Amino acid sequence: MEEECKEVEQVKKNDSQIERDDILRLKDELVAAKEELISLKQELRKARESSDNNLNKLKYMVADFDNYRKQMEKQVGSKIEENKAELVLRFLNIRDDFVRALEIAKQTKAEPVVVEGLDGILKNFDHQLRSEGIIEIETIETPFDPNVHDAVSFSYRDDIPESTVTDEIRKGYMLDNKVLRPSIVEISKKIVKNSVNDTEKTEKGTEN
């Protein structure tokens, strides 16, 4: 009987030791799990920071590329406009020569059918210019505008306001709201009367 009791007590001691060992092992595993969790959180935080940095870098790269694209489009557009303006100016010089030839044909009383044909060609030419957005600058009887007019001569007039365009020497044109070629014009100037000299002349005439 005593031996059986001793065996039971020994079993209980063994069970208690096993339980303590299990608890210690579980505590060690729990501590290890916590440390691993802390490590994973740190790695996750670093990964998020790295991801945010990469995302910001990507956003900057996209913004830089977009700015570069817009700049290149602007440069290309500007170059196209310059080339178009240069080409149109050459055609305008041809038009000037054509108009002079037409005037000569009219002055020399060329065949009416020839003059009509030349007039028709000129109208088609001007229609093509307008279809490309090229418009004539207004001149005759308009106020002188240094932005679109280039004055090369004067006419002394009292019947119209000063600095009014009185004659168009060469047509000017606009392209896309920009001056392609300024108009060469003549403008009016007031006749200045020297009232003092006129008075002196009158007095001298009276004395004589």
Per-residue model confidence (pLDDT) at position 207: 47
Mean pLDDT of 173-184: 93
Query: CB of 180 within 8 A of CB of 88?
Result: yes
The amino acid at residue 12 is K
Confidence tier at 192 by pLDDT (50, 70, 90): confident
- Residue 191's domain comprises 136-195
Per-residue model confidence (pLDDT) at position 200: 43
Return the residue matching tokens 């060992």.
Answer: 21
Quick one: angle between helices 2-107 and 112-131, nearest 10? 160
Q: With 0-12 CB in 10 A as exposed, 13-18 as middle and 19+ as buried, what is 185?
A: buried
- 19-30 pLDDT, tens digit per residue, is 777 787 888 888
Query: Rounded distance, CA 89 to CA 179, Å?
Result: 11
Looking at the structure, do residues 128 and 77 belong to the same domain, yes or no?
yes
Is position 106 within any domain? yes
Query: Rounded distance, CA 143 to CA 146, Å?
Result: 10
Is position 109 within any domain? yes
Per-residue model confidence (pLDDT) at position 7: 62
Looking at the structure, do residues 107 and 92 belong to the same domain, yes or no?
yes
Is position 152 within any domain? yes
Looking at the structure, do residues 120 and 141 belong to the same domain, yes or no?
no
The reported pTM is 0.60
Instruction: Output the CA–CA distances (angstroms, integers) from residue 110 to 95, 96, 98, 120, 196, in the order listed.
Output: 19, 19, 15, 15, 55
- 117-166 pLDDT, tens digit per residue, is 999 999 999 999 999 889 999 999 999 999 999 999 999 988 899 999 99
Query: Rounded distance, CA 23 to CA 154, Å?
Result: 113
Is position 98 within any domain? yes
Q: Is the pLDDT of residue 2 over 50?
A: yes
Q: Copy the structure tokens of residue 203.
A: 């007095």
Is position 108 within any domain? yes
Is position 177 within any domain? yes
Domain count, the chain: 2
End-of-domain residue from the set 110, 132, 154: 132
Per-residue model confidence (pLDDT) at position 199: 46
Looking at the structure, do residues 122 and 159 belong to the same domain, yes or no?
no
Query: Rounded distance, CA 179 to CA 188, Å?
Result: 23
Is position 166 within any domain? yes
End-of-domain residue from the set 106, 132, 158: 132
Is position 181 within any domain? yes
